[in-house]
Chains A and B, each alone.
Chain A
Amino acid sequence: MGALCKKCRERAQIKLPRHNASFCQKHFKEYFFKQVEKAIKKEKMISPGERVLIAVSGGKDSLVLWDVLRELGYRADGLYVNLGIGDYSDRSEETCIRFASSRSANLYTISLPAFTGGAGIREISRKVRRKACAACGMIKRYLFNRFSWEMGYGVAATGHNLDDEAATLLGNLIGWKEDYLSRQAPVMPSNHPRMVRKVKPLFRVTEKETAACAVMSGIGYIYEECPLARGARSTVYKNTLNYLEQHSPGAKQQLFYNFLQKGRPGFLQKREDVQLQSCSRCGQPTATETCAVCQMLEKIGAPPLSLSEGGAVKQKAGEALAP
């Protein structure tokens, strides 16, 4: 006899040692939705009626986030950025489109190569002499913020889960990166007129729980790895934390929640606030005269980015997308 659901005593499909509970499909989803709702309410992530844009990649986290927010009644649309990483990008785009159609949800897609004369992340990172993931991270964050702002979204959400946050925290603690530590939070308020609030509604659920929710909700997601991902350090941290979790259930959440409650306030006090200015070329928030993405585009000989030109933004599924 396997484990039984804590709520209804039917066969359990998942055990959650950190909550000392097991759940059947129905009650697991109930639990999962409650955790997300609690994160949103407690951290004041999204106001009632506010439109939210979700950065979707085709992976389990962002698609589950989108599905759950819609089920919870939030007005959530998706943005997919095709990074021009060969077949991998095309397969992940198709995955997002398929999901959006299945839910009649609104999906925007942006194709990075359409702005760069065909260059994707691999080519750009070579030309600007940066690691692929560093260049990619900057470009994704830039496009996500700029697109959200131009389309009038007040809040933008990503699929970071508890494992992501705990692993990032562990890395920042080992390096004692006070500046990053002061900034790591489930909500990043806007500190520039063109900066949109960023939120992470999945920070209370684990990676395993999110994958379970995807399977139970019939969400087809892409689980192959990006070909440019090279043995990310974060995977080592995640495995280390999972080893701890296995022997001491609740370790991951304790680490992250304790940090938020007791550690972060101290780092916030010490923080020196950099006044963000507007980029001289694109107007986006930056600490330097010209923002990092405009500098990259300049280096590869691409014109300043205009999201409304070039047919790079397409509406995919769902009804009209007018704001």
Chain B
Amino acid sequence: MKVKLEMPEQKELEFDRRMKVHKMLEELHINPESVIVIRGGELLTADDWAEVGDEIRIRGVISGG
């Protein structure tokens, strides 16, 4: 699956197996409180599975200033 980070710095990653969102965030050292995870127009919770063919966006929600 393709994972696009928008934290807001952009970066693209690939995972070659299905995995739970919380596991993915853990591997990326991302606190679930600090992002929303988007697939299509929908949000995924930490308990959802991201499947092999999915395109996932992980978008940071913390604004500075």
Contact = CB atoms under 8 A, between A and B. Distances in A.
Interface string B50-65: 0000000001111111
Contacts of A3: 45, 47-48
Contacts of A148: none
Interface string A225-245: 110010010110011001101
Binding site of A, secondary structure by majority: helix, strand, loop or mixed? helix
B46 A61 contact: no
25 contacts: A2-B47, A2-B48, A3-B47, A12-B45, A13-B44, A207-B62, A208-B34, A208-B35, A208-B36, A210-B61, A212-B36, A215-B36, A223-B6, A223-B63, A225-B63, A225-B64, A229-B64, A234-B65, A235-B64, A238-B62, A239-B62, A242-B34, A245-B33, A246-B31, A246-B33
A61 B45 contact: no
B58 to A, nearest CB: 12
A106 interface: no
Contacts, number: 81
Contact of B65 (A163, A210, A226): A226
A133 B33 contact: no
A234 to B, nearest CB: 6
Q: Identify which of B31, B38, B46, B62 gathers the most chain A CB atoms within 10 Å of its CB.
A: B62
Q: Interface size bucket, A side?
A: 35 or more
A65 B41 CA distance: 21
Contacts of A25: 42-43
B47 A223 contact: no
Contacts of A14: 43, 45
A208 B61 contact: yes
A59 interface: yes
A15 B45 CA distance: 6
B33 A242 contact: yes
Nearest to A206: B33
A209 to B, nearest CB: 9
Contacts of B65: 133, 226, 229, 232, 234
Given A215-B36, A245-B33, A246-B31, A15 B61 contact: no
